[in-house]
Amino acid sequence: MKKLPAILRSSALPLAVAALSPAAAQDDPYLWLEEIEGPKAIAQVEKWNAETERLLRADPSFEQDRARARAILDDESQIAFPDRILGDRVMNLWRDAKNPRGLWRSTDLASYLAGKPEWTTVIDVDALGKAEGKSWVWHEADCLAPDYKRCLVSLSPGGTDADVVREFDLSTASFVDGGFTLPEAKSDVAWADKDTLLVATDYGAGTLTASGYPRIVKRWKRGTPLASATPVMEGAAGDMTVAPRVEQDGDRRWAFINRALTFYTAELWLEGEGGRLVRTPMPQTAELRTVIGGRMIVYLNDPMGDIPAGSLIAWPLADVAAGKAGAPEIVLEPAARAVVEDVRATDHILWVKQLEDVSGALLALTRDAATGRWTRRAVPLADKATVHLVGAADRQDIVFASVEGMLTPPSLVAAGPDGAARTVQQLGARFDASRFTVEQRFATSKDGTHIPYFLARKKGVTGPVPALIHAYGGFRAAQTPTYLTTEPYRAGPLGLFWVEDGNAYVLANIRGGGEYGPAWHAAALREKRQNAFDDLAAVAEDLIKTGVGVKGRIAISGRSNGGVLVGAAMTQRPDLYGAVIAGSPLEDMKRYSHLLAGASWVAEYGDPDKPGDWAFMQTWSPYQNVREGVKYPPAFFYLSTRDDRVHPGHARKMAAKLKDYGNSVYYHEYREGGHSVGADHAEDAVRAALLHGFLKREIGGEKK
């Protein structure tokens, strides 16, 4: 699993509750549950865990579900997606039953393209952890072009966002004795050259932002102590983070420093001659997507003059470095219902993945040097499919993409300079898709906006049946349908189990995500957050209106930001929903900005310490809106103690408050595993079985 960029990662894991005023402590009787490793808090977690496991493991189908989920997740017929492509070598992290933490391995590009790779293990993560007495979880490896001999390997203890960075020699398959090494921290590191790194890390007291991210980037020379590294840029404590970014463009490396002012605004600086930093002309709300042919490719989240939001534009980097950047070139403008989601560059082709009504499409763009015009070519792929760009071979101008749907198993395709994409590997079916149907529908939200959703059911089922709706609605993250063995996210094959029971599974594309570009996200931002909750309710009500479901037998599921969503939904409409699944959730929006990475999300939700912001936030903050005497739907909270991004106190306190008010609560907290990366597949397999048992108990749906 690739390590997340700094903008999505969090501060170091505190061992105690954040500082509180006496008034705050008096107002919240559950604050002791914020003590992450506090003995009293852990004892309570273990008690809740035992209660949940005792109840749900007694289900006669639990062990069958768990074993089947584990077999699906560990199946050796899984696709070996490219982790990195280093010249003519393909790197892959392989996880299965024998290697739960993974094998980082290598094969040649030719055999990989032929579908007959011959793998050589480079790092056995399980064996390394055993030898070093560490619970290592793989994050990533950044290998220096063009020879790709040296790599910076990032390993996390137990799956946290924090990791250790160590220099690795690919030619000897060993860590470099005396090489670059960074201790455990939330670091961002990039190769400047073979003997120099650009490093943003925790340099000690006062070197982190209020969000807990690094605020200082330094240049570190080989053979010198980190303490002697020289400053490159220093941000303010109120910034979100400052991080280096280096882009390989043919034989040229371009070094950038990104000063993130908030989650959605940043200054981007380019390193010019002699290390001089030049501010790029990129607007603060825009994003650098890639570099190709000496040009920086930028995505606009807001209009720039007459250029609409959602466009891709470009500037020549030589002009930027010289301080002479003029008006940008227009690379691609958005269509009515087609928006840019992902961009990759090979040496001569800009690959653009678009969403068209939440379905994936792929474009290949090239620039005519004589006219300066960009031309595009559509690359045919499966219709109504989810597409993700997963890797690129630069010199060969090949991009790799995964293609899948709820009923279509993932395939790996390769697209090159000419013609259609070709299939490299097709995963075998894990179930008989002919038994099911998937359709896209649209609900009408409270303000009249049409909200798309995908509905999966058994053929012949007309309803009403128990229904499970999964949604997210935030941070510009589009929710696209995946194979039912992976729906919902981090819950194994729960979606498959559910539709096999004869029930309905729904993926809702509510506002706040990126399904229709920047405007779709902005429509649920800050004071407009209520739109996301209304959208979810609209999908549930559409299921009732069309006879798919019935009030009280509709479950809702959300994870992380989705925890805010389902928490607000259950407190606002306890009559509508019959069960709630909240994974690693945000719940206490009065305290969130003081817990772990919370301060970095103020641009998304608002600042609860500002009266004007709290005025709208308090209307939907889940924890503050739990009322005594109200019967809420049964809720299942799952999370990890070692999650160092979303504080476990959110789920703990919400669970305690609901239970003390007489509501039914299920709770399951793993001691290891991070926010995005689980310790191994065993976690998700158990979770799938537990959640399946929970849904059957609370809204019905025994197998038919």
Q: In whole angstroms, how large is the CA radius of gyration of the chain?
A: 25
- Biggest CA–CA distance in the chain, Å, is 73
Q: CA 257: distance to chain centroid?
A: 23
Q: Is residue 76 part of a domain?
A: no
675 and 549, same domain (yes or no): yes
122 and 152, same domain (yes or no): yes
Q: What is the pLDDT of residues 221-271, one digit of tens each?
A: 999 999 999 999 999 999 999 999 999 999 999 999 999 999 999 999 999
CATH number for the domain spanning 673: value is: 3.40.50.1820
Residue of 675, 676, 681, 692 marked catalytic: 675
In this prediction, residue 246 carries a pLDDT of 98
The answer for residues whose C-beta is within 8 angstroms of residue 357's C-beta and 6 or more apart is 337, 440, 452
360 and 502, same domain (yes or no): no
Give the tokens for residue 380: 């045919």
Residue of 154, 560, 593, 640 marked catalytic: 560
For 70, 314, 564, 573, 654, the CA distances from 570, given in Å and listed in that order, are: 31, 45, 10, 5, 12
Q: Count other Cβ atoms within 10 Å, centred on residue 464.
A: 17
Task: For residues 677 and 90, give the distance between their C-alpha atoms in angstroms, rounded to a whole number.
Answer: 22
- The number of folded domains in the chain is 3
668 and 577, same domain (yes or no): yes
Q: What is the pLDDT of residues 509-559, one digit of tens each?
A: 999 999 999 999 999 999 999 999 999 999 999 999 999 999 999 999 999
Evaluate whether 502 touches 437 at the Cβ level (below 8 Å). no
Q: Is residue 495 part of a domain?
A: yes
The residue to which tokens 């009787």 are assigned:
29
Q: Is residue 557 part of a domain?
A: yes
DSSP output for 333-400:
---SSEEEEEEEE-SS-EEEEEEETTEEEEEEEEE-TTT--EEEEEE---TT-EEEEEEEETTTTEEE
In this prediction, residue 3 carries a pLDDT of 35
Looking at 427, 461, 482, which one is the last position of a domain?
427
Task: For residues 509 and 539, give the distance between their C-alpha atoms in angstroms, rounded to a whole number.
Answer: 9
Closest CA to 341 of 287, 380, 296: 287
Q: What is the mean pLDDT of residues 581-608?
A: 97
651 and 573, same domain (yes or no): yes
Task: For residues 519 and 514, give the distance between their C-alpha atoms in angstroms, rounded to a whole number.
Answer: 8
Q: Is residue 114 part of a domain?
A: yes
Q: Is residue 666 part of a domain?
A: yes
683 and 583, same domain (yes or no): yes
The answer for residues whose C-beta is within 8 angstroms of residue 664's C-beta and 6 or more apart is 634, 635, 698
Q: What is the mean pLDDT of residues 393-418?
A: 96
Within the chain, how many helices (H) and strands (E) appear? 14, 37
Kindly state the percentage of the chain with pLDDT values over 70.
95
Task: For residues 463 and 431, give the distance between their C-alpha atoms in angstroms, rounded to a whole number.
Answer: 22
In this prediction, residue 679 carries a pLDDT of 52
Q: Strands 436-444 and 422-426: what pairing?
A: unpaired
Q: CA 597: distance to chain centroid?
A: 15
Q: What is the pLDDT of residues 46-75, one digit of tens each?
A: 999 999 999 999 999 999 999 999 999 988
340 and 472, same domain (yes or no): no
Q: Is residue 434 part of a domain?
A: no
- The percent helix, strand, coil of the chain (3-state, each to 5) is 25, 30, 45
592 and 487, same domain (yes or no): yes
Looking at 404, 427, 450, which one is the last position of a domain?
427
533 and 634, same domain (yes or no): yes
pLDDT category at 493 given cuts 50, 70, 90 is very high
Q: Is residue 138 part of a domain?
A: yes
Q: What is the pLDDT of residues 425-480, one digit of tens each?
A: 999 999 999 999 999 999 999 999 999 999 999 999 988 999 999 999 999 999 99
565 and 631, same domain (yes or no): yes
Closest CA to 255 of 274, 236, 281: 274
- Domain membership of residue 173 as a residue range: 82-184
pLDDT category at 180 given cuts 50, 70, 90 is very high
Q: Is residue 282 part of a domain?
A: no
Q: What is the mean pLDDT of the chain?
A: 93
527 and 650, same domain (yes or no): yes
Task: For residues 488 and 468, give the distance between their C-alpha atoms in angstroms, rounded to a whole number.
Answer: 10
560 catalytic? Reply is: yes
485 and 418, same domain (yes or no): no
Helix, strand or coil, per DSSP, at residue 407: coil
| pLDDT over threshold 70, residue 676 | no
In this prediction, residue 419 carries a pLDDT of 80
Looking at 165, 184, 203, which one is the last position of a domain?
184
In this prediction, residue 11 carries a pLDDT of 32
The residue to which tokens 């000419």 are assigned:
418
